[in-house]
Amino acid sequence: MNKKIFRLSLIMALIASLGWVTLFPAATPAAAEAARYPFTAYNIACSLQEGKTWMSDDEIFHIRGRILQSVVASESAYHAGTGEIIGNANIDLATMLGEYHGTLKIFPAAVNGYWAGSWVVQMTPAGQNGHARLQGYGDLEGWSIKAELTYLPPFILANFKHLCGGSQPVAGTLSNGYILMPGGE
């Protein structure tokens, strides 16, 4: 008899706990969900201010604090404008493989606000892999950006000379990602 009561108690406890688990998602407000808006952007650096550079004993070339001023071309009014990139790198000169990383600010021309965050690009034998994560400030407060980055080689950058007053850009990336807006627009 005690085994039956014990088993019945376990079954009731399981049913009660399942009831609580299903209640919590229903209690989450719908406004907490973010709307995702995809974008494509080209962050084209037109000028470069060198940072500190040195070669380590293991033949790794290090860059710290390189500042690039850029133009951000995008179909998204929340993204297109100007930018400032602070870049750092650790590059194996024998293979040209390594990591590029730093911070980024984007100042969209159409809004009173800006994006700020970090980025990283890994150059490996298998190819490159990079991403950026930015938070919004001003009118973009509470918004965020998540993007995958692709490095643009010089022959592709030549197509963006018009953004740099006719001069060859010094660097650039293609960003494919999305803007997260809490509760949508």
**60-69 pLDDT per residue, tens:** 999 999 999 9
pLDDT at 151 over 50: yes
pTM over 0.85: no
Q: What do you get for the CA distance between the two ends of the chain, in Å?
A: 61
Instruction: Name which of 175, 173, 41, 176 is nearest 100 in CA terms.
Output: 173
Q: What percent of the chain stands above pLDDT 90?
A: 71
Which of 177, 63, 170 lies closest to 117, judged by CA?
177
Does residue 14 lie within any of the structural domains? Answer: no
Taking only the tens place, the pLDDT of each residue in 69-90 is 999 999 999 999 999 999 999 9
Number of structural domains found in the chain: 1
Q: Is position 41 within any domain?
A: yes
Judge whether 41 and 72 are in contact, CB under 8 Å.
yes
Residue type, 77: A
Residue 94 lies in a domain: yes
Domain assignment of residue 22, yes or no: no
Beta bridge partners, 172, equal 44
10 part of a folded domain: no
Q: Residue 80: which CATH number? A: 2.40.350
Please report the pLDDT score of residue 126 as a whole number: 84
pLDDT in tens, 17-41: 333 333 333 333 344 577 999 999 9
Q: Using the structure block, give the residue that is written with the tokens 């700020």.
A: 116
Say if 21 falls within a structural domain.
Answer: no
| Residue-number span of the structural domain to which 57 is assigned | 31-182
